[in-house]
Structures are given as structure tokens and as C-alpha cells.
Chains A and B, each alone.
Chain A
Amino acid sequence: MSDESTREEGGAQPEEQSENPTPDETAIRWQSDVKFIAKLVAVTYVGFAILGLVTGVSTNEIAGFLATVTFYAAVFALLALALNLHWGYTGLFNIGVVGFMAIGVYTFAILTASPEASPAGLGLPMVVGVIGGTLAAALAGAVIALPALRVRADYFAIITLGFSEIVRLSITSGSLRQVEVNDRVYGTGGGSGIRYDPVDGVVTWLLELPGFEQGGEALYQVAALVNVTSSVVDRFLYAVILMIFIVLFYLLLTRIARSPFGRVLKAIREDEIAARSLGKRTQVTKIKVFMVGTALMGLGGILWLGSRSLVSPDGLMPVITFYIFVALIIGGSGSNTGSVVGAFVFAAFLWEGPRFIRTIARTNLDYRPTGTIYDAFVELAALDPMPLIGYLIGSLDELRWILLGTVLVVLMIKRPKGLLGERKEIAAATDLSHRPRGETDE
């Protein structure tokens, strides 16, 4: 009773001050997270750069490689963050991520493609396309959520997977390939896809703005000093824009996580019946969170796939969803920082890393590609290792999946909760450990 009266009489002021440690603590945690990620990225890049320089790879190739790593790390981080909201927080086993990416990027393509192109688009500005694609993915999320969230978890997973395949197959279907409206042929373009101005064109647009013009020029010149081409610089700049999106995703998701809403999400993950018995409207909450997640997946899809000038169903295979899960699992599902770290580790060491080895091998070794591993071993018996090396390097794209599988197995045994999964990220808008009367018997 007495507490209530103090609160009403402007008692909030002193209370606010006594709680100063709370925001500080989050700030410290946030800073240490940023530092950790920065260190990890710096060490990795310096490591690759030194490795490249020592083995005589050209600076432009090294820079190009690092730009690619940064790009993939960023897009995987965006999607892993979105998936973390579904799977890490709410326990929704969404294995149809690529379907929502597809909805996002195809909507973007149809909205922004030139009306003269074939298939034609609406020729709207890029911003409209990005927003439209994101909203379309959210809408698709709502449509899927209504039936899917009524069934048990494992059936839910199957429905989402089915959805992503339905999307991909619908895109290739003949009836949607070409749709004639008012003498113009719209549609998905089937297997050949839709052409449009890629979303990374925003870099060129930015560099033409009055304030940025000189900065961009200077950047190109500095890069030219170390023999790095302007196109590589552009790719780095696009990665920087992606990083801004990562920060926005991260802030949004951290806010959701540190709130009563996030607490209900966690409760749904842990025991939905218990949550409902406490009066939580879990069904509505699940639909909302599913839509937020699919919107972010749609946006992630636009920023990733939309940065090519062509979107086609080939890039929308269900395995993409699997990669995003791997990135999330490496980092530790349930942790937003973990999602980012996992995405980086995945992109740098599993996705792009092996390709760097091939670059090094190409510059340094004179190997012949070999037909089969059998031939390679036959030659090895004759003390010629080159065919085997040639075979391994030639099959690097396939061998990556063996590496990926091995890493997953080792991770599941050694650190089943991922690199950062052990952390307690408390779902509350304030520091719960603050005791009312300040007594501690610990």
C-alpha cells in the first residue's frame, strides 16, 4: 500500500536514479558484445589477409574475398536474427524461411522492374519495392500462421517447409510465368526469372549525392593505391549498408526480447499450456511474432537476393533455410548476439573460407583436375600428390558440405547450445535482480 502511494506522488524520480545501474549494465553488455564481434571480425580478416599476402594472392582478390565474406556474413546475420525470433525465442520450428525470402524478393522484383522489361514490372522506386516486399512477406506469414499455428510443433514445421516449396514451384508454374494485363506481360518469368535494378545500386546512388561524391572518390583512390578496384569498394559499401540493417534488426529484436511480450514468447517455447493457464493469449502472440519474423525474412531476402540483377527460382532451394539454421545453431539459438556471431563464423569459415583456399591453390600450385577420386589415389600411389590435390580443390564446393556436417556434429557434442547459447538473456524491460528493499542474503 505504502509503495503505491509513493509511486503516485512523483516517487518515480528518485527510483529512476537508484536504478541507474540497469541501463549501464545493458550498455556494458552491448559494448562488450560489439567489441567481441569487432575483434572476431578483425582477427579473421587480418588472418585471411596475411595468409593471402604470404601465398601471393593479389590484393584485389583478397579484398574481393573479404567483401564477399562480409556480404554473406551480413545477409546470414539478418536472416539468422529473424529466425532466432521464431525458433530461438518462441520455439516455432520454421523450416520455410526461404519461402518468405522468395515472397519478399519477388514482390520487390515485380514492383521495381521496368515496365518495358520482360516480364514487365511496375517500375516503382526501390524504396517502395523494399517496403512492399517486406509487407508482402508479413502478409504471407499471417496467411500461413492461421492454419499452421493450430497444429502441433512438428506438423507446423512440415507446413512451413511445404509452403516454401509451394512458393518456389508456383514461381516456375506455367500459369504464373506470363500474365497479360493491359497489353503488358507481367508474371514471375518462370525458370528464367525477373530482371530489375539490383538493390545494391543504392551504393552508386549514394555516391552521386552531393555530400558523398568526394568521399567516394577519395575512397576509390585509396583503394587504387593498393590495387583494389572500385567495384570491390562498392561491394564493401553495400556490406556497410547491410550492417546498418543488422543494427536495426538487432535493436528491434532485443527490444522485443527484453519485454513482457518477449517473456510470453519464451513461455510459449518452454510450455505453452502453462502460459495459457496463466491467461496468456498465446495464439494471438504466435501470429504476431510469426508475422514480424516473416517480414524480416522478406526484407533479408530482398537485401540478399535482390542485390543480384536477376531473381530466379534456382536460388530458392530449401537448403538455404538449412544454412540459416546452421548459422543460428553455431551462434547459439536464443541469443541475438549469437545469431550475428554464428552468421559470421558460418560465412567466413564454412561458406566462403574453402573458396579462399582454392584461390591460394590456383595462384601457387600447378595442379591438374582429375576425373575421380579413384584416379587421384592411383596417381598418389605413384607418388604424385597433385591429382589428389587437384581433385580436392576441384570438388571444394561439394566438400564444403562434409566440412559443414562435421562442424555441426562436433558442435552438437561439444557445445550443443552454440558459441553464445549459454548466456542468460532475461526477458524483462527492467533489471529483475534489483530487490525492492535492497536486502541480499547471497
Chain B
Amino acid sequence: MSESQQPTGHNDDSVQTAESGDAVLQIADLEKRFGGIVAVDGATFSVERGSITGLIGPNGAGKSTTFNLITGTHKPDAGSVTFNGEDITGRPPEQIANRGLVRTFQIARELPEMTVLENMMLGPKNQLGETLWRSVMPGARSAVIEQEKELRERAWETLEFFEIDHLAEEYAGSLSGGQRKLLELARALLTDPDMLLLDEPMAGVNPSLEKKLLERIHDLQEEGYTFLLVEHDMDVIMNHCDHVIVMHQGRVLTEGVPEEVKSDEEVIEAYLGGEA
């Protein structure tokens, strides 16, 4: 695949601070309040480059809000987000995405009245034709058309991989919930990210496809991508993540390799009992 050289290329360029080791993403003391509710209350963790890191926690633990704070959908009240050694706290979503940190949403945000292919074609960043004059001027347009053809090829390949190529010319709004999830992930991949933040990527995806999706995530991991995923399916977390972060009431409760986390008393309490 043509994107295979991309992530490693990015990795070479990236600035790494000495104390961070090989953390691609660092979150420190992140806080967010909505009115009187403290959604995220001093969350601190880091994600190691090239890992698949799971973010778990009971409902309302602040996982999705943390995602929103990292990717610029919401601005944090306090704390910092560092990506590839660069402070990206409070930057707008498009700047964060263009730095190679791309997310998907818990409820898929497909673009309903655009076809699946149009959705896919939106993914690649820095497209020539996104500048108005290049799209309109007769001379410049041929370069745009050339690039469109290249991108179209990648869009089809990715659709085939996710087994939604038969839906390519349907409106994205007519897809099932699981298919929308796949489309969103496929579209995010076309941006050539360094790191993907996936909010419940397996929700609504059928088991055989889920297996394929996980294989694909492992393939991409080998190519140098980093994943942070929120997931409720414990089998996915325990069998496929290198590292697990447990959030509870807006804070990081504990973190470690899946086996450690699994047997942690506090985690069991947060999930199964306790006052929350």
C-alpha cells in the first residue's frame, strides 16, 4: 500500500522530548467542566509510539470527553496535550488532524448525503483541489484531476479492505450503523495519520468483520501507526491492547498491561460495584 512509507517517514521527523521516552501522545492534568459537572478531573497519561492502547472505564468516566479534549473538539479548562513533542492544547480540530492525530466518533459522523466514495475522498489531506483557484482555473485543474485519480485508487483499495466496496456509490446515510463505523475508520486512514483515536470502533460491527478489523489494526500497528481506543468489549481490550488505561470519575484509576489491570481490585470495583 502506498501509505506504508508515510508513518515511518513521520516518525523520523518527529521531535521527541528527552523525558518522554517514546510517548507519541502525552496528556497532563487535563480538566474539563460542563457547568457544575466535572467531566475530566486531572487526567494524566501517555501513549507509547506504535502501541495499541485501550482506554476503558464505566459510563461517564470521561473517556469520550478526554477524546474531545485531545482532538480539539472541546477546549480543556486546564492541563496540556502534547503530540509528537508539540503542545497542541486547545488547538482547533483541523490543525490537530493535520498534524497526524485523527479520530473517529462514538456515534459515527458519516456525511449522510454524500456517497461513500465522496466520504472517502474527503479523507486525504492537503489535496491540491481544495484551493479554490486550482479547482476552477483551466490550466491548474489538470493537476487536480490527476491527483483525484490517485486518491480514487486508494479510496477503492481501502473500501475493498473494509468490505464495503459494494456500497461505494450509495449515500453514506443509507448505511447500517456498523458500516458507518467502518466507513469512518476507512476515511480516517486515508488522512495518513500517525495516530488514530478510535471511539468504540467495534460497536455494531459483526464478529467476523471485527476479527478482520482487529487484524487490520495490528497490520497498521506494524507499519508504525499508534492507536488509542475506547472500547467496552473486554475481550478486545484484553487480547489486543498492549497497554490499558482505566478511567473513573474523570481521573486515571490505574494503568498497565491487560493482565495487571484485569486483576486490579479497584478496576473490578469501579466496573462491578462501588458507589459510582
A residues adjacent to B (C-beta < 8 A): 1, 3-4, 7, 12, 15, 19, 252, 255-256, 259-264, 266-267, 269-271, 273-282, 285, 288-289, 292, 424, 426-430, 432-436, 441-442
Which one of B91-99, B207-215, B220-228, B256-264 is at the A interface? B91-99
Contact of A292 among B115, B121, B132, B156 (CB under 8 A): B132
B155 neighbours in A (Cβ, 8 Å):
432
Q: Which residue of A lies closest to B128 (CB)?
A: A260
Bound state CA distance, A271 and B113, in angstroms?
Answer: 10
Given A292-B132, A433-B168, 14 more A-B residue pairs with CB atoms under 8 Å apart are A260-B128, A260-B129, A260-B144, A261-B131, A264-B122, A269-B113, A271-B109, A274-B109, A277-B105, A278-B94, A280-B130, A288-B132, A428-B148, A429-B135
Pairwise interchain contact A441-B166, C-beta atoms closer than 8 A:
yes
Q: List chain B residues, Cβ under 8 A from A276.
A: 92-94, 97
- The answer to whether B145 and A279 touch across the interface, beta carbons within 8 angstroms, is no
A263–B135 CA distance with the chains assembled, in angstroms:
11
CA distance A427 to B119 in the complex (A): 10
Chain B residues with CB below 8 A from A426, complex form: 115, 117-118
Q: Determine if B247 is an interface residue (Cβ-Cβ < 8 Å).
A: no
Check if B135 sits within 8 Å of A259, measured CB to CB.
yes
Within the complex, the shortest CB–CB distance from B212 to chain A, in Å, comes to: 18
B194 vs chain A, min Cβ distance (A): 13
Distance of A278 Cα from B72 Cα, bound (Å): 12
Contacts of A292 in B (CB 8 A): 132
Q: CA of A267 to CA of B122 in the docked complex: distance in angstroms?
A: 8
Judging by beta carbons under 8 Å apart, are A277 and B135 in contact? no
Q: Is the CB of A279 within 8 A of B149?
A: no
> A263 and B146: CB pair below 8 A?
no
- B residues in contact (CB < 8 Å) with A: 2, 71, 73, 92-94, 97-98, 102-103, 105, 109-115, 117-118, 121-123, 125, 127-132, 134-136, 141, 144-146, 148-150, 152-153, 155-157, 166, 168-169, 171, 187-188, 191
B111 touches A255 (CB 8 A): no
Could you say which residues of chain A place their CB within 8 Å of the CB of B122? 263-264, 267, 275, 278, 280
CA distance A442 to B166 in the complex (A): 7
Of the A-B pairs whose beta carbons lie under 8 Å apart in the complex, a sample of 14, sorted by A's number, is A4-B2, A19-B149, A255-B136, A261-B129, A261-B131, A262-B135, A266-B111, A269-B113, A270-B114, A278-B94, A278-B187, A424-B115, A427-B114, A434-B152
With contacts A4-B2, A261-B130, A281-B94 taken as known, whether A430 is within 8 angstroms of B149 at the C-beta atoms is: yes
> Cα distance A387–B71 when bound, in Å?
71
Closest chain B CB from A234 CB (angstroms) = 33
**Bound CA span A12–B146, Å:** 8
Residues of A within 8 A of B2 (CB): 1, 3-4
Q: Which of B71, B114, B129, B131 contacts A277 (CB 8 A)?
A: B71
The minimal Cβ–Cβ distance linking A10 to chain B, given in whole angstroms, is 12
Question: Which residue on chain B has the smallest CB distance to residue A288?
Answer: B132
Residue numbers in A under 8 Å from B145 (CB-CB): 429-430
Q: If the complex has contacts A263-B118, A271-B111, A435-B156, are A279 and B128 also in contact, measured as CB distance less than 8 A?
A: no
Please, how many angstroms separate the alpha-carbon atoms of A264 and B126 in the complex?
12
Query: What is the distance, in angstroms, from A314's C-beta to the closest C-beta of chain B?
Result: 36
| A253 closest partner in B (C-beta) | B136
- With A261-B130, A273-B73, A276-B93 already in contact, the answer to whether A256 and B118 are too (CB < 8 A) is no
Report how far A247 CA is from B111 CA in the complex, Å. 30
Contact A267-B114, Cβ < 8 Å, known A15-B149, A255-B135, A436-B153:
yes
Closest 5 pairs between A and B when the two form their complex, measured CB to CB: A260-B129, A259-B135, A279-B97, A270-B111, A274-B109
Looking at the assembled complex, report how far the CB atom of A269 sits from the nearest CB atom of chain B, in whole angstroms.
8
User: Could you say which residues of chain A place their CB within 8 Å of the CB of B94?
Assistant: 276-282
CB distance from A223 to the nearest CB of B (A): 38
Instruction: Please judge, given known A-B contacts A273-B109, A432-B152, whether A266 and B114 are in contact too, CB under 8 Å.
Output: yes
Q: Which of B148, B156, B188 contacts A430, CB < 8 Å? A: B148
Contact A277 B73 (CB under 8 A): yes
Q: Is the CB of A260 within 8 A of B121?
A: yes
**Complex Cα distance A256/B133, Å?**
9
With a CB–CB cut-off of 8 A, which chain B residues contact A256?
A: 132, 135-136
Question: How far apart are A97's CB and chain B's nearest CB, in angstroms?
Answer: 21
User: Which of B73, B105, B109, B157 contacts A436 (CB under 8 A)?
Assistant: B157
On whether the beta carbons of B102 and A277 are closer than 8 Å, the reply is yes
Chain A nearest Cβ from B53, distance in angstroms: 20
CA distance A429 to B111 in the complex (A): 19
Say how far A344's CB is from chain B's closest CB, in angstroms. 25
Report the minimum CB–CB distance from B116 to chain A (whole Å): 10
Chain B residues with CB below 8 A from A12, complex form: 146
Best-buried of B128, B136, B157 by chain A (most CB within 10 Å):
B136
Partner of A429, one of B103, B129, B132, B188: B129
**Contact yes or no, B136 A428, CB < 8 A:** no
Q: A435 — which chain B residues lie within 8 A by C-beta? A: 156
- The CA of A430 and the CA of B2, in the complex, are separated in Å by 20
A270/B112 contact (C-beta < 8 A), A264-B122, A428-B118 known? yes
Known: A271-B109, A429-B141, A435-B156. A278 touches B125 (CB 8 A): yes
Residues of A within 8 A of B93 (CB): 273, 276-277
| Complex Cα–Cα for A436 and B149 (A) | 9
Chain B residues with CB under 8 Å of A270's CB are 111-114
A259 touching B118 in the complex, CB below 8 Å, given contacts A12-B146, A274-B111, A278-B191 = no
Check if B98 sits within 8 Å of A279, measured CB to CB: yes
Set of chain A residues within 8 Å of B71, measured between Cβ atoms: 277
Assess the B144–A259 pair: CB atoms within 8 A.
yes
| A residues near B123, Cβ cutoff 8 Å | 278
Which residues of chain A have C-beta atoms less than 8 A from B188's C-beta? 278
A322 to B73, CA, bound (A): 35
Q: A4-B2, A429-B135, A432-B121 are in contact. Are A277 and B115 (CB under 8 A)?
A: no
Find chain B residues with CB under 8 A from A433 CB.
117, 168-169
By beta carbon, the residue of chain B nearest A263 is B122
Smallest CB separation, B152 vs chain A (Å): 6
Min CB distance A393 to B, Å, is 44
Give complex CA distance A287, B257 in Å. Answer: 48
- Residue in chain B with minimal CB distance to A3: B153
State A427–B116 Cα separation when bound (angstroms): 12
Within 8 Å CB of B191, what residues of A?
278-279
Q: What is the CA–CA distance of A424 and B114 in the complex, to the nearest angstrom?
A: 9
Q: Beyond A270-B112, A277-B109, is A261–B132 a contact (Cβ under 8 Å)?
A: yes
